Amino acid sequence: MSNHYDTLGVGQNANQDEIKQAFRKLAREHHPDRGGDEAKFKQVNEAYNTLNDQNSRAQYDAQQRGGHNPFQGFPGGGNPFEFQFHMGGGHPFNVHDHIFQQFGFNTRQQARNRNLRVEIEVDFLSTLKPQQTVIQYNTAQGTETLQLDIPPGVEHGSMFTVNGRGDNANPAIPRGNLEVVLRVKPHDRFQRSNENIFEDVTIDCFQAIAGHVIALTTPMGRRIELNIPKGTQHSAQFAVTDEGFPRNNGTVGKYIIRVAVLIPTALTADQLNLIREIQKIRPVNT
């Protein structure tokens, strides 16, 4: 049976910083305002409320070891952190609201103008490096211009949200947000797979048998000569390091060349006879 530690994805010896970091990550992922699972959000919330307080955590640990119910004696027999509080006789709020406000979550939706969405197209190779682009978009009050900093490695369909730059039709309430969706144009040579960049290169069977050298331009613009060794098989791959997209750990993906071996279909009679003569002397690995 899962427990609060399992819910947050931490060990039972986790310190308070580790618990808080795990909670922040999961709360952002499952918060209903962000389209998350409300039931999972409540489960994460309950786990954090219990483990974040040293006393309640100690009671919970004792219960897990077979001790008494740490919440026994509270109204309804439930979690004491579920109570609502009145501050100065004002509107009651749940302690959950206070916790999530500390982490920057809005627990009550504030009225504001609508969000706007624009789409921009960028070149495939430009996403290998940081770039800046200027976009124009229309609001109820006219046309606005915004400079957007795009980090390296963004993928097709990535969306950036610029707070407070959406519609402004009603000046009495805050502006909405601007959502910028990126469309990455396909490249005629390269394809992306995670942080790696692939290119398909075709050689004929004779080049694969005897070996061949191909001149290529890498995604970063370097000129290289790829040595295809003799005996290369169909679908063989050759990798060039640090020519792909950046990873979260600070490393960079690879440029990977996939070799397709083409079998000729329009050989002359003389050529076919030569091949038949070669077949009579079979290599040891056939």
pLDDT tens for each residue of 88-110? 333 334 444 455 555 555 555 67
In a domain, 13, yes or no: yes
Pair (31, 98) in one structural domain:
yes
**Is residue 283 helix, strand or coil?**
coil
* Average pLDDT across the chain, whole number: 84
Which of 102, 128, 162 terminates a domain? The answer is 102
In angstroms, the CA 242 to CA 221 distance is: 12
In this prediction, residue 101 carries a pLDDT of 54
In this prediction, residue 49 carries a pLDDT of 86
Q: Give 168's contacts (C-beta < 8 A, 6+ positions apart).
A: 113, 139, 140, 141, 175
In angstroms, the CA 254 to CA 246 distance is: 10
Pair (210, 176) in one structural domain:
no
Q: Tell me, what CATH number does 92's domain have?
A: 1.10.287.110
Predicted confidence (pLDDT) per residue in 130-154, tens digit: 999 999 999 999 999 999 999 999 9
* Residue 173, phi then psi, degrees to nearest 5: -125, 160
Predicted confidence (pLDDT) per residue in 185-201, tens digit: 999 999 999 999 999 99
In a domain, 108, yes or no: no
In a domain, 107, yes or no: no
- Of 264, 262, 286, 284, whose CA–CA distance to 274 is shortest? 264
In this prediction, residue 37 carries a pLDDT of 80
Q: Residue 87 belongs to what domain range?
A: 4-102
Q: Find the largest Cα–Cα distance for the chain.
A: 101
Predicted confidence (pLDDT) per residue in 107-130, tens digit: 556 789 999 999 999 999 999 999
Pair (10, 94) in one structural domain:
yes
Pair (90, 42) in one structural domain:
yes
Compute and round to an integer the Cα radius of gyration of the chain. Answer: 30
In angstroms, the CA 117 to CA 108 distance is: 23
Report whether pLDDT(70) > 70. Answer: no
In a domain, 285, yes or no: no
Pair (12, 64) in one structural domain:
yes
Report whether pLDDT(72) > 60. Answer: no
Pair of tokens at residue 146: 């915004």
Report whether pLDDT(69) > 70. Answer: no
In angstroms, the CA 252 to CA 229 distance is: 26
Which DSSP category does 252 fall into? B
CA dihedral 97→101→106→107, nearest 10 degrees, is 0
Predicted confidence (pLDDT) per residue in 202-214, tens digit: 999 999 999 999 9
In this prediction, residue 105 carries a pLDDT of 56
| Model confidence, pTM | 0.59
Our count of domains for the chain comes to 3
In this prediction, residue 152 carries a pLDDT of 94
* Residue 156, phi then psi, degrees to nearest 5: -60, 130
Report whether pLDDT(54) > 90. Answer: no
In a domain, 26, yes or no: yes
In angstroms, the CA 32 to CA 16 distance is: 25
% of the chain residues with pLDDT over 90? 53
In this prediction, residue 89 carries a pLDDT of 38
Which of 102, 132, 156 terminates a domain? The answer is 102
In a domain, 171, yes or no: yes
Q: Tell me, what CATH number does 215's domain have?
A: 2.60.260.20
Report whether pLDDT(179) > 50. Answer: yes
